[in-house]
Structure 1
Amino acid sequence: MGSSRAYPVYRSSDPLDVYAQSQRLCALLDSRDAGAHVGAELRTVADVQRMVKLLPDMSYDPDRALTDPVTGDCLFFTGRTLPVDPVELESLLPLLLNDEFVSGGVEASVEASFVRALGKGPATVGWTGRWPDDPALGSFGSPKYDGVQAVFNSDDSDWERWADTHTVFVHVTKFGDLDRAQWLAAQIGGEVLGEAVLGW
């Protein structure tokens, strides 16, 4: 039980730079799970339209509970069931995209397109896997916790706090592993930028 510990290891004002550095770290994983987790706070109609065009089957949920005026049922949407009319769509904002996808080998192009489509709201892409064992560091892979996370327009792993920069986090065992985080940061010319925080 428990959550990973996430160390911030790279920060930039360029979202595509953060995405590229996160991919360099993903390449160091001993094994990598298929697909990725994506999340974004979509604040404008244009944000939603760009995302729906890219990811029409994902869940898009209002950040407050909305109910059908006739049935009283909670409203949930996919990109295909969202209103097309911009005025109706605007009444639902902000929308939260928080989903996973597995795509037969083309996920990298979808992930890069996701980053290009982002607006100003906080967002994230996360990849899970297993870091290789490194007995010299006393570090051993933990497939339940290991991975890489790129956070956009935010500086925390929960991507709740807005920032004008973008950050890469490495996730390690629930006990933390500063030595591994420092080594990983060095591989991309970064450094550990703060204390470990609660991860996924």
Structure 2
Amino acid sequence: MSNSRAAAVLTTPDLTEAIRAVRTLLSIADISQAEVDFEGVIRSPEGLARVLHVLPDLEWRASAESDNASSNAGDDPAAHLPIRVFDWCRPLEVAEPFIAALGPELAAIRWDLNAWPAVPEAGLDFISQKYAYLTLSVNSSDLYQCEPSEDHTVYVHVPDEHHIARVEWLAERVGGHRTGRVEVAPL
């Protein structure tokens, strides 16, 4: 198992601005074989209903350590709130409906890109799919939904700290900046 470094490039209370930044970064990346993954914490029956409308076969498990309820066991998620949701390998067009369904719920949406392309004029080399990711944390100030927030943060993933020039270049494209906040992200 590898890890990437997820560097925050934009934090904003405006979800529309965060989504616009994601769209810009996706227009730069090679998305020819891209997929999107979801993780989140659903705390309310209303949030659960909205998310299940978008992803009816959503995988989940109870958040409480003493509760073994899950989608795999066929349990009713509404009876076990709050729940942790996770869903992998979805088509890109599912991301924005999922984000819209969240309301105040916490989530991380990760786009698994095909590559960050080379940008010779900026001195940036190609970064393969293994380390080419983009994450939007919604209503959370971290990648793992541990710190609720009214802000939304866009993260760019790179292999290690030696790729800071890539982070800075991408941040400039979205009107952000490298904040210095970097999280290790298991891949």
State the TM-score, normalized to the length of structure 2.
0.86
Residue 59 of structure 2 corresponds to residue 75 of structure 1:
no
Larger Rg: 1
SS class of match (1:60): strand
8 Å CA contact 1:41–1:95 kept in 2: the answer is: yes
Query: How many Å apart are 1:31 and its aligned residue?
Result: 4.2
Query: How many Å apart are 1:49 and its aligned residue?
Result: 0.8
SS class of match (1:4): strand
Which residue pairs with 2:8 in the alignment?
Answer: 8
**CA–CA distance in 1 between the matches of 2:154 and 2:19?**
8
SS class of match (1:144): helix
In structure 2, give the amino acid aligned to 1:95: I
Of 65, 85, 88, 1:97 maps to 85
Q: Residues 89-144 of structure 1: CA distance to partner in whole angstroms, max 9, x if unpaired?
A: 2x4110111111434xxx32x21111111132321111122111245525331321
Q: 1:22 to 1:167 in 2, by over 3 A?
A: same
In structure 1, give the amino acid aligned to 2:101: A
Which residue pairs with 1:124 in the alignment?
Answer: 108
Q: Residues 36-84 of structure 1: CA distance to partner in whole angstroms, max 9, x if unpaired?
A: 00111101011111111110111021112466xxxxxx43217xx553x
Query: How many Å apart are 1:26 and its aligned residue?
Result: 1.4
8 Å CA contact 1:154–1:163 kept in 2: the answer is: yes
Which residue pairs with 1:149 in the alignment?
Answer: 135
SS class of match (1:111): helix
Q: 1:42 to 1:15 in 2, by over 3 A?
A: same
Q: 1:181 to 1:199 in 2, by over 3 A?
A: same
SS class of match (1:199): strand
Identity %: 26
**CA–CA distance in 2 between the matches of 1:121 and 1:102?**
20
Structure 1 unpaired stretches of 5+: 68-73
State the TM-score, normalized to the length of structure 1.
0.81
Q: Which moved more, 1:189-198 or 1:128-137?
A: 128-137
**CA–CA distance in 2 between the matches of 1:98 and 1:114?**
12
Residue 118 of structure 2 corresponds to residue 133 of structure 1:
yes
In structure 2, give the amino acid aligned to 1:75: A
Q: CA RMSD in A?
A: 2.2
8 Å CA contact 2:69–2:75 kept in 1: the answer is: no
8 Å CA contact 2:140–2:147 kept in 1: the answer is: yes
8 Å CA contact 1:26–1:147 kept in 2: the answer is: no
Which residue pairs with 2:172 in the alignment?
Answer: 186
Higher fraction of strand = 2
Structure 2 unpaired stretches of 5+: none
In structure 1, give the amino acid aligned to 2:69: L
Which residue pairs with 1:71 in the alignment?
Answer: none
In structure 2, give the amino acid aligned to 1:7: A
